[in-house]
């Protein structure tokens, strides 16, 4: 009879098979009521799961991350049940959990309207209040196919038919509704107390544009109304900060159908973009990197040799010349950097060799996945590749990690989470090589004094990596930088150096990106700062405003003087009231507004105010210039107002 071991090491003994729910009840009525699922011997299961043998058990509640996922998964099923009750002819397809919520795809004869979404949400509330018990049963695959065909659910039947025939299929039911699912789910619909449907969009069946278009209903779910309300407030704030809206308001960039996933940079946006490059170029040079540039178009044989063609080919843009030679537009910079390292004989005394490139890369992303600057097909990477010996992995990784974190602080990101991503299922190289690479990266992480969470199976196909995740001003996480240890690609591409014994040795290759995609980092910056970029990054750092045309000559002269000192300054001589001009440039997020009236002209002064509306007093142009120079040199760290 089973002995159940709890997380605190205590044991519960039973003389008969027992469900998770019964064990929870034996511990306490409060835990039984809070239980959503459980981990039995590490496997996530329903509370109805029967424990018949000795096992470890951890009860999952809404305090656990897994509990929140179960809530969202179950709410997706609640959505599908509500749609079927309101629109019986609709067919259900798939409904997974996504970041901060869930979605479910439906095939229906007409588009769902906002009124439909309101009715569906009301029905979901009704079904949740009914506290319907959630049950699980298992069928053989072919029996499950017949079952869903009998319901007219052809999409579900197609999904099941693609599953291996020996595999058993689990079905979950609540009320009169049944769905295909691996589970687990909450014990009853009454556990679902705080949810909201957010939008409806189109989605191709199985993500293939050759298939029929379905309707995807998105929603979010949380353990309680307070957390739901907080999330909805974050959504509202995120909408205000949307980089696409800010980009339009500030005339920074645009995108258009003739170049899907590629950016048309306007002068002001390009100014910021080049400021990012200039900043990173200075930091990399100080850290010992040499800047290079590799071709954007290279023969596919190189990509086959590196492993990219096999692992990444479906996301590559390929072309063929009239002489039948096939080329690929580079999706990554690493093979090109290996070619540069290989050109000429390298000695161990030269290592580390640090190469960096602001390389333009192209990757095919489905049209439906494109999203402003966040998800594009053409983008620029701040790629760095460091060629070292195995003995240098720790010291170089520590230096890179410190550089990355310091750079993020310059951009206003103090809260940085780090994830360790180990070997993926689809990879190159032997297990022995992966063991060495993973051990080396863990040792480097320990030496750098960093804490990380495990992102299992998400390493690059050639090596494990650290992922640097930035938390922005409204609590959203953005994965940007990476550090990868690669013992595979240099060998595949024939790179070597001569060691102290005059023997050929394959170098270790560290892949390092800090911004990642400059376009995406630009978007993250805009949203983090709500468009109010720090002065050192702002496309326009100050505007000199006249009150009447009597100040025009003075305003022009001051503007020219500041521009000649390297500041990005404009003037505004429009025949408008000064209050209108101040409001206009405040909306344009200009850091400093310099007003000149008759009194200021007579005394060679400027009335200075920040975009936040703070009056900084009057000062001579030279004093303002010195103030701004100090701020720019300190990256704004010492300046509170702005």
CB 221 within 8 A of CB 185: no
SS percent in the chain: helix, strand, coil, step 5:
40, 30, 35
Task: Give per-residue pLDDT as tens, 16-56.
Answer: 999 999 999 989 999 999 999 999 998 999 999 999 999 89
CATH code for the domain in which residue 487 is found: 3.30.930.10
Structure-token pair, residue 396:
């170089």
Mark whether 354 and 307 lie in a shared domain.
Answer: yes
Q: Which residues span the domain enclosing 611?
A: 542-633
- Would you say the C-alpha torsion 202, 260, 513, 635 has a positive or negative sign? negative
CB 466 within 8 A of CB 445: yes
| pLDDT higher at 497 or 639 | 497
Band the pLDDT of 637: cuts 50, 70, 90: low
Residue 284 resides in a domain? yes
Mark whether 122 and 165 lie in a shared domain.
Answer: yes
Q: How many domains does the chain have?
A: 4
Mark whether 24 and 50 lie in a shared domain.
Answer: yes
pLDDT at site 638: 44
Which residue from 453, 459, 466, 467 is spatially nearest to 426, judged by alpha carbons?
A: 459
Residue 425 resides in a domain? yes
Q: Return left, alpha or beta for 3; rule: phi > 0 is left, psi -120 to 50 is alpha, else beta.
A: beta
Is pTM beyond 0.95? Reply is: no
Which residue from 583, 564, 251 is spatially nearest to 572, judged by alpha carbons?
A: 583
CATH code for the domain in which residue 170 is found: 3.30.980.10
Mark whether 446 and 315 lie in a shared domain.
Answer: yes
CB 636 within 8 A of CB 536: yes
CB 344 within 8 A of CB 376: no
CATH code for the domain in which residue 20 is found: 3.10.20.30
For residue 639, pLDDT over 50 is answered with no
Residue 256 resides in a domain? no
Mark whether 10 and 73 lie in a shared domain.
Answer: no
Mark whether 364 and 470 lie in a shared domain.
Answer: yes
Task: Give per-residue pLDDT as tens, 104-115.
Answer: 999 998 999 999
Which residues carry out catalysis?
334, 363, 381, 383, 385, 465, 511
pLDDT at site 71: 96
Question: Average pLDDT, stretch 173-187?
Answer: 90
Mark whether 115 and 195 lie in a shared domain.
Answer: yes
For residue 628, pLDDT over 80 is answered with yes
pLDDT at site 207: 75
Band the pLDDT of 401: cuts 50, 70, 90: very high
Q: How far is CA 249 from the centre of its chain?
A: 24
Q: Which range has the top average pLDDT, 119-123, 177-181, 307-311? A: 119-123
Across all residues in the chain, what is the average pLDDT? 92
pLDDT at site 182: 86
371 in helix, strand or coil? strand
Share of the chain above pLDDT 90, in %: 71
Distance CA 29, CA 368 (A): 47
Band the pLDDT of 4: cuts 50, 70, 90: confident
Distance CA 44, CA 42 (A): 7
Distance CA 571, CA 249 (A): 19
For residue 441, pLDDT over 90 is answered with no
Rounded to 5°, the CA angle 171-174-179 comes to 35
546 in helix, strand or coil? strand
Mark whether 317 and 338 lie in a shared domain.
Answer: yes
Mark whether 44 and 83 lie in a shared domain.
Answer: no
Residue 559 resides in a domain? yes
pLDDT at site 642: 40
Question: Average pLDDT, stretch 157-174?
Answer: 87
Task: Give per-residue pLDDT as tens, 501-515.
Answer: 999 999 999 999 999
Task: Give per-residue pLDDT as tens, 75-86.
Answer: 999 999 999 999
Pairing of strands 378-388, 326-329: unpaired
Mark whether 16 and 90 lie in a shared domain.
Answer: no
Question: Average pLDDT, stretch 182-199?
Answer: 94
Mark whether 92 and 22 lie in a shared domain.
Answer: no
Mark whether 10 and 151 lie in a shared domain.
Answer: no
Distance CA 144, CA 156 (A): 9
Range scoring the smallest mean pLDDT among 86-90, 153-157, 407-411 = 153-157
Q: How far is CA 571 from the centre of its chain?
A: 39
| pLDDT higher at 311 or 598 | 598
pLDDT at site 583: 95
Which residue from 412, 634, 418, 607 is spatially nearest to 528, judged by alpha carbons?
A: 412
Task: Give per-residue pLDDT as tens, 522-565.
Answer: 999 999 999 999 999 999 999 999 999 999 999 999 999 999 99
Q: HSE (CB half, 13 Å, CA atoms) of 361?
A: 24
> How many helices (H) and strands (E) would you count in the chain?
20, 35
Residue 255 resides in a domain? no
Residue 642 resides in a domain? no
Residue 313 resides in a domain? yes
Write down which residue in 500, 528, 556 finishes a domain: 528
Residue 261 resides in a domain? no
pLDDT at site 641: 41
């Amino acid at each position: 009879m089973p002995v159940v071991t709890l997380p605190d090491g205590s044991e519960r003994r039973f003389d008969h098979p027992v469900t998770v729910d019964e064990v929870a009840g034996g511990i306490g009525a409060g835990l039984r009521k809070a239980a959503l699922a459980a981990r039995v011997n590490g496997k996530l299961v329903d509370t109805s799961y029967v424990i018949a043998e000795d096992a470890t058990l951890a009860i999952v509640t809404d305090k656990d991350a897994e509990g929140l996922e179960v809530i969202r998964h179950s709410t997706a099923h609640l959505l599908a049940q509500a749609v079927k009750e309101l629109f019986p002819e609709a067919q259900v397809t798939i409904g997974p959990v996504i970041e901060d919520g869930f979605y479910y795809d439906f095939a229906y004869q007409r588009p769902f309207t906002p009124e439909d979404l309101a009715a569906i949400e009301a029905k979901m509330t009704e079904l949740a209040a009914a506290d319907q018990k959630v049950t699980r049963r298992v069928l053989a695959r072919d029996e499950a196919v017949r079952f869903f065909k009998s319901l007219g659910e052809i999409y579900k039947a197609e999904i099941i038919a693609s599953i291996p025939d020996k595999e058993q299929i689990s079905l979950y039911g609540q009320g009169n509704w049944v769905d295909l699912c691996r589970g687990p789910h909450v014990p009853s619909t009454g556990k679902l107390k705080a949810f909201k449907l957010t939008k409806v969009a189109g989605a191709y069946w199985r993500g293939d544009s050759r298939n029929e278009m379905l309707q995807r209903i998105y929603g979010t779910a949380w353990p309680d109304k307070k957390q739901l309300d907080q999330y909805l407030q974050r959504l509202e704030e995120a909408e205000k900060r949307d980089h696409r809206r800010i980009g339009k308001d500030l005339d920074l960039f645009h995108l258009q159908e003739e170049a899907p996933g590629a950016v048309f940079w306007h002068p002001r946006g390009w100014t910021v973009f080049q400021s990012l490059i200039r900043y990173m170029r200075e930091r990399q040079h100080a850290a010992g990197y040499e800047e290079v540039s590799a071709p954007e178009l290279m023969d596919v044989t190189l990509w086959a040799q590196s492993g990219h063609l096999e692992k990444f080919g479906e996301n590559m843009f390929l072309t063929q010349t009239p002489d039948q030679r096939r080329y690929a537009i580079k999706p990554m910079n690493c093979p090109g950097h290996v070619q540069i390292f290989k050109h000429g004989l390298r000695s161990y005394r030269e290592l580390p060799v640090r190469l960096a490139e602001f390389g333009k890369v192209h990757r095919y992303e489905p049209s439906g996945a494109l999203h402003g600057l966040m998800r594009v097909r053409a983008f620029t990477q701040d790629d760095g590749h460091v060629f070292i010996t195995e003995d240098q992995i720790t010291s170089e990784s520590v230096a890179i990690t410190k550089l990355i974190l310091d750079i993020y602080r310059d951009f206003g990101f103090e809260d940085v989470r780090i994830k360790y991503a180990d070997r993926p299922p689809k990879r190159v190289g032997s297990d022995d090589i992966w063991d060495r690479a993973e051990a080396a990266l863990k040792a480097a992480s320990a030496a750098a004094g960093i804490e990380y969470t495990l992102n299992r199976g998400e390493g690059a196909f050639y090596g494990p990596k650290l992922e640097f995740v930035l938390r922005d001003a409204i609590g959203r996480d953005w994965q940007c930088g990476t550090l990868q240890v690669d013992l595979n690609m240099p060998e595949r591409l024939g790179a070597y150096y001569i060691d102290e014994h005059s023997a050929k040795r394959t170098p270790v290759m560290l892949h390092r990106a800090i911004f990642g995609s400059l376009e995406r980092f630009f978007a993250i910056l805009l949203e983090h700062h709500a468009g109010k970029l720090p002065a050192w990054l702002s496309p326009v750092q100050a505007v000199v405003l006249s009150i009447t045309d009597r100040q025009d000559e003075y305003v022009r002269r001051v503007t020219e003087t500041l521009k000649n000192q390297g500041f990005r300054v404009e003037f505004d001589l429009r025949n408008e009231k000064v209050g209108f001009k101040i409001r206009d440039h405040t909306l344009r997020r200009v850091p400093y507004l310099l007003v000149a009236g008759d009194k200021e002209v007579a005394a060679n002064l400027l009335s200075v105010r920040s975009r936040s509306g703070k009056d900084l007093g009057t000062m001579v142009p030279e004093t303002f210039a010195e103030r701004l120079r100090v701020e720019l040199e300190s990256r704004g760290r010492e300046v509170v107002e702005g």
